[in-house]
Every structure is written in structure tokens, then in C-alpha cells.
Amino acid sequence: MSSQIRHTTAELQAMDAAHYLHPFTDHKDLGARGARIIERAQGVYLWDSEGNQILDGMAGLWCVNIGYGRTELAEVAYKQMLELPYYNSFFQCANPPAVQLAKAIAEIAPAHMNHVFFTGSGSESNDTVLRMVRRYWDLKGKPGKKTIISRINGYHGSTVAGASLGGMSVMHEQGDLPIPGIVHIPQPYWYGEGGDMDPEEFGLWAARQLEAKIEELGEDKVAAFIAEPIQGAGGVIIPPSTYWPEIKRILAKYDILLVVDEVICGFGRTGEWFGSQYFDLKPDLMPIAKGMTSGYLPMGGVIVGDRVANTLIEHGGEFFHGYTYSGHPVAAAVGLENLRILREEKIVDYVKQEAAPYLQSKIASLAEHRLVGEVRGVGLLGAIELVKNKATRERFAEKGSTGTLCRDLCVRNGLVMRAVGDTLIMSPPLVIKPEEIDELVAKAWRCLDLAAEQLG
Ligand code: PLP
């Protein structure tokens, strides 16, 4: 007999409020409103327990890259569970799917990156990053190089290391973060913080904050710089064109590792396999997760460049680090099948050549709406800035209220978009079809209209 019993929405909501502490949720709200219970999904659509069909403009949490309902992933998981549901990768052990997945990832990664360390999530991947980076410099005989420079409003996960590497003030306020040895510089968010500078000028200014911080701390203290190619959770912040080239110049001048957090941008989101390829970066480490299994099972990893891998392998001895579920055979089998689908169905090419140009041209038209100050995007990432005054970029008085209003109107009208303050963001499944993009944009327009009516 199955362990799953069917409950009504009201029963589920009552049990939920009574027992389930959700991530990133004000639990008191659940008592008043009840959680939205998502029951099933297919393609780019979700259905809630009341039967409402909702277009998932966020691919879950930026992760369902190949879309919902791919039975191939369920089948490989089932077969792998029968064959070998679990075994660990500690102490010289491995399992076939984990080995094959490591090889397949090395094939799509930049040429100088040939090893993968498996984890269970993006946050764990960034914990691994911290351990590896510091271990690397110890092995290089530079134990003073311990500090990691990150960016304000970056997101690198929710564990103690992940949240510390991230630059979210609301997260730092809870639990005395960041931990020592992590410092933050300003983000390259021109629309919100560029002031009177033009975007290119501001991009250079933001990049040079890295150089200033290295000079302040001393090169001999700095281990690495970590950044998302495009900040996702911070509000789909796309650096001005001058930013990454200047960061590259600075990193080449100083002996500091580059960690590019590919948890969102990896596996096709920008129309390249990795955001690093989109921006022509040469990372030493790339934390990954999400699109690695299209979210069908939890899995993450760190793709390790040859410089770090060779040092760890040649001089490191045993690395006292790893997780029970590192290289989990079922997750790895699902990851491998996900990668096969992405490759054989040429989904990354589809993003680059068709879906992204179409989505970007369609969402650009939203900039004509009176609430919208800027629309920006790369690949299948998009952001809509909501403002009171388009010309001055002045925001609405109560920060975040317009974003929340629009987001709630969207869900009620059959579209998931996320609100980061007063920025609406989107990241649909990579397989979204042109007619589904039309639907997404039409629904977004309608919600902006409804919000404008309510705001008067
Ligand atoms: N890094 C980035 C760039 C992310 O966007 C996220 C999650 O959104 C993480 C790390 C953390 O991943 P996880 O939630 O799987 O721990």
C-alpha cells in the first residue's frame, strides 16, 4: 500500500501550518492564508490542489531546466534504485553513474576544468568551495591567504558558509553572519545603484572595488573572489559590459582564485552551458546544482579547474571533506539522463538561437508599461524594474510593496514570477515554446495593468 493518502486542500494547509516549518517563509502567514499546495506539473505548467493551472515562469527555483514530466528521468531513477539505491564515495569507492556523470560534466565544462566534487545542493557546494580554496593555499605554502571576497546582495546559499559568502543583509542579521574571513564589495547593479554614472562607467567603478579591497587587505591575505555571472536571487542583475573584463584584468594582476557560482547560470540558462562561457571567464572553481538534475533529485557539485585539482591531488593527501550523499547513485543517474536530454535535444542551442531571442524581444515591450522603468535579460533570465517615475528611477514609497502586489496578482492570474523588492524576475524552463512565451508576457502585462489600477 502506498504511504501517500489524499487530503483536501484545507486539511493539507492545516497540517502544514501545524507541523511544517518552511524555508524563507513567515510561518505566521501560513496560519492566516494557508500554503499554496502544488500537486502536479507538466512541461512549463503547474497545477495546484484547487486545480488551477499556472505557468511556471521560475522553473521551480531556477532549476527545472528540461521542464516537468520527463518520464525518462523517473525511469532511470527507478532502475537505479533497484540496482544500487545508495552507496557512498568515501574511502576509494565509486559507483557507475557518479563516475559517468563526472566525465560528462567535464566534457561540457571549459577545457581547463576536468574534475568534479559532488555535493547535495548549491549551498553545500559553496561550503566545499570554502574548504577547497583554503586547502589550496595551505598546500601552496601561503596559509595567510584565507579571505574570500564576495559581493553585497550576492546569493551563494543558506548554510553558514553559503549565507556568509552571500551578501544578503537580511540573512546576515539572523545568526551573526558572515563568519570571519569573508568580506563583501558593492554589486554591479547599475539600475538600482548607478546614480549619475552611465552603465559602462559604473561597471568599471564596481569592478575596481575588488582591486581596492585587495589592496586594503593585502594580496597575501586574499584567497579568492566569488561571484555569480549574473546575480539571480539578488534580482537578475546583469553586470554592465565593462564589469567582467575589468574583473579579469584585476584577477590576472593578483594571485587570487576565481570562483564562479554557476548554480543558476549553469546547464544552459544563458544559452551557453555555463555563464562563464557567456562572459568568457576562466574560473578556478564552479559550484553547480539546480539544472544539473533539472531539480528532479537534489544534487550539486563543484567543477574544479586543473590548477586547483592538480595541487589537491598531487600534494593534498586525503581531503577530509565530503557528504554522505556525495555522488549519490540515483541522483547521479538522473543527472546523467538530464544531461543526455539537454545534449541530444540540443536544448542549449534552442535557448541561444530561438527561445532567448524571442523571450527577450517580447519582454522588452513591457518597458512601455507605465510602472516599468527597465526590462533586462540574458538567455532565459529576465527582470522588470517597477518604478514610480521612469525618468528619475524613483521607487514607490513602501519598498517591495509593488513587487509583492504584482507577484501575487501574477499567481492569481496563472503565472509564477518572483519579486525581489520591486523587481519582478523570471527564469522559465529552457524548453518553453514561443506560444508559451507569448502567454507569459500577456499575463505579465495583465498583472501590471491590474497593479496599476490598484495603485491608482
Ligand atoms: N548559489 C546560487 C547562485 C544560488 O542561486 C543558490 C540557490 O538559489 C545557491 C547557491 C544555493 O543552492 P541550494 O538552494 O541548492 O543550496
pLDDT, tens only, 241-268: 999 999 999 999 999 999 999 999 999 9
| Alpha carbon of 65 to ligand 1 centroid (Å) | 15
| Alpha carbon of 156 to ligand 1 centroid (Å) | 5
Task: Round to whole Å and give the CA distance between 282 and 112.
Answer: 8
Same domain, residue pair 331 and 369: no
Of 151, 226, 290, the residue with max ligand 1 atoms within 8 A of its CB, to mutate for a pocket test, comes to: 290
Asked if residue 8 belongs to a domain, the reply is no
pLDDT above 90 (res 456)? no
pLDDT mean across residues, the chain = 97
| Alpha carbon of 62 to ligand 1 centroid (Å) | 9
Walk across the sheet containing 372-378 and list its strands.
372-378, 381-386, 423-426, 418-420
Which residues contact ligand 1 via a Cβ below 6 A?
61, 121-123, 126, 155-158, 162, 228, 232-233, 261, 263-264, 289, 300
Q: Is the peptide bond before 283 cis (omega within 30 degrees of 0)?
A: no
Q: What is the dihedral of CA 125, 127, 128, 132, to 10 degrees?
A: 140
Contact 200, 242 (CB under 8 A): yes
Q: Would you state the pLDDT for residue 2?
A: 63
Amino acid 150 reads S
Banded pLDDT at 16 (limits 50, 70, 90): very high
C-alpha cell recorded at residue 361: 524581444
Task: Round to whole Å and give the CA distance between 19 and 3.
Answer: 18
What is the position in ligand 1's atom list of the atom closest to the CA of 61?
8
Asked if residue 381 belongs to a domain, the reply is yes
pLDDT digits (tens, 9 = 90+) for 142-175: 999 999 999 999 999 999 999 999 999 999 999 9
Task: Residue 395: give the domain boundaries.
Answer: 37-69+346-455
CATH for 196: 3.40.640.10
Pairing of the two strands 38-42 and 372-378: unpaired
Tell me the average pLDDT across 208-216.
98
pLDDT above 60 (res 288)? yes
* Residue at a domain's end among 303, 329, 345: 345
H/E stretch holding 451: helix 434-455
Same domain, residue pair 207 and 242: yes
* Residue at a domain's end among 316, 345, 374: 345
Contact 338, 348 (CB under 8 A): no
pTM, two decimal places? 0.98
Number of domains into which the chain is organized: 2
Same domain, residue pair 316 and 186: yes
| Alpha carbon of 155 to ligand 1 centroid (Å) | 7
What ipTM did this prediction achieve? 0.99
Tell me the average pLDDT across 264-284.
98
Nearest-5° Cα angle at 429, 64 to 369: 135
pLDDT digits (tens, 9 = 90+) for 56-92: 999 999 999 999 999 999 999 999 999 999 999 999 9
Asked if residue 29 belongs to a domain, the reply is no
* Residue at a domain's end among 345, 362, 379: 345
Same domain, residue pair 324 and 369: no
What is the position in ligand 1's atom list of the atom closest to the CA of 289?
15
| Alpha carbon of 61 to ligand 1 centroid (Å) | 9
Asked if residue 5 belongs to a domain, the reply is no
Q: Would you state the pLDDT for residue 61?
A: 98
CATH for 430: 3.90.1150.10
Q: Would you state the pLDDT for residue 397?
A: 87
| Alpha carbon of 352 to ligand 1 centroid (Å) | 23
Banded pLDDT at 237 (limits 50, 70, 90): very high
Asked if residue 24 belongs to a domain, the reply is no
Same domain, residue pair 373 and 243: no
What is the position in ligand 1's atom list of the atom closest to the CA of 121?
15
Task: Round to whole Å and give the CA distance between 399 and 420.
Answer: 10
What is the position in ligand 1's atom list of the atom closest to the CA of 233?
5
Burial code (b: 16+ CB inside 10 Å, e: under 16) for 154-171 equals bbbbbbbbbbbbbbbeeb
Task: Round to whole Å and give the CA distance between 5 and 189.
Answer: 47
Asked if residue 58 belongs to a domain, the reply is yes
pLDDT above 60 (res 1)? no
Same domain, residue pair 365 and 339: no
H/E stretch holding 185: strand 182-185
Q: Would you state the pLDDT for residue 285?
A: 98
H/E stretch holding 245: helix 243-253
Same domain, residue pair 329 and 299: yes
Contact 123, 158 (CB under 8 A): yes
What is the position in ligand 1's atom list of the atom closest to the CA of 265?
3
What is the position in ligand 1's atom list of the atom closest to the CA of 62?
8
Contact 261, 156 (CB under 8 A): yes
Banded pLDDT at 32 (limits 50, 70, 90): confident
pLDDT digits (tens, 9 = 90+) for 182-200: 999 999 999 999 999 999 9
Q: What SS3 state is found at 433?
A: coil
Same domain, residue pair 254 and 224: yes
Same domain, residue pair 341 and 224: yes
**334 burial level (CB within 10 Å; 0-12, 13-18, 19+):** buried
Contact 117, 135 (CB under 8 A): no
Of 156, 171, 276, 418, the residue with max ligand 1 atoms within 8 A of its CB, to mutate for a pocket test, comes to: 156
At a CB cut-off of 8 Å and minimum separation 6, what does 96 contact?
A: 329
Asked if residue 97 belongs to a domain, the reply is yes
Same domain, residue pair 194 and 142: yes
Q: How many CB atoms lie within 10 A of CB 367?
A: 14
Of 263, 274, 381, the residue with max ligand 1 atoms within 8 A of its CB, to mutate for a pocket test, comes to: 263
| Alpha carbon of 365 to ligand 1 centroid (Å) | 30
Q: Would you state the pLDDT for residue 131?
A: 98
Same domain, residue pair 259 and 390: no
Asked if residue 13 belongs to a domain, the reply is no
Contact 199, 205 (CB under 8 A): no
Identify the CA nearest to 288 among candidates 139, 428, 424, 104.
104
Q: Would you state the pLDDT for residue 437?
A: 98
Same domain, residue pair 280 and 370: no
